[in-house]
Structure 1
């Protein structure tokens, strides 16, 4: 039987080592190193090198595990254990020399997430949790915010970077939230957004067109911190369904109907 607490310590070490590599390479990036996946989606040799490092270091921890990775350096064929890896969440921020950008690593056992680590490189903050544990930030237990009044809440979101079919709905939802909350922030790393909700910095987060590697670790940490997650229609198809609503338990029932109204089916 796997000891998730010990495993989490190993994954934290890998995330920090990878984060240090990314930080060291930050000043070396040139325009020729930046490739386009799409107009607003960038990739560099740092993303791919970081992912290779993570995969090679994770393999000995659970030799039979598969991988779901952003850069496709490893694959999965429905193994019992699958690592879900984003080696550099926030590549555009990284390329432009701004934070946040992060390393995100999660573990899934069958269909259940059981471990999550998000390392935000710029502030040297590591968020983590394992099955049965609370959520932690740099060794200190964290929990979600307790605000219930919309005017006291700070909301995070992300803008579509390849699927613009819902852009008008996005604008409408943001207009409502601008008028009824303390404000909206767009950080550029969904893994960090979710971790910040877990730590009580944000009250809620929503976004469309994300992938499993963007949300898996942060969402697991958020749940362990007491948060609630759904898709835009109140279901549980948020990990692979490319839509997510995440909020504190105090605010979810207030926040969900708003996003469902504007973004749901």
Structure 2
């Protein structure tokens, strides 16, 4: 597909206030898409929308709040005529030892990473099916490998991977489903970790990250701009120096 063939297509990006979400919105806008930016931090997505121009729309929404997603979908329908693409990017990575002390962290990851993606997709599904759409789920290398301190985070990503494969089979050919599994990317994810010792160790790895959000965004845009007869179902990406 060329940029002109993407003109008029509408992409909804969750977690668009930073990192991979913001970079993907920029990449899609550059490829000719109109973009609806969904996030809780309205000031950030409003600034991004202003930077992207008239083809961008900022909508405050929380993927754990179905009512806010329904309102967002209605606004996308009213202002853009509906969504052609949904990028389920919103996520949190609250790593740490498995302990009752971190019960709230576990629940938060499940609600955002897994249930948030499921609910957002359910809300936007009819729009995606109208004329043929694309669903992109942002998972992680942790959806394939589990280590000490990432158990619940990995569980949410393994769950996202399994659900994506089921949807790939169920929604074809109305909606193409693509799963993106990045390794370490230079984002703010470690800053939200509540267990201090784990945060320090993880942050050191992220400080040395050689992959930036625009690198992942470029791959997402590539997958979305393939001809409709081709679906890129799964992409695993790591920095060249990341072993596992």
Query: What TM-score, normalized to structure 1?
Result: 0.27
Relative contact order: is structure 1 or structure 2 higher (C-alpha 8 Å, sep ≥ 6)? 2
Q: What is the TM-score with the length of structure 2 in the denominator?
A: 0.29
More helix by share: 2
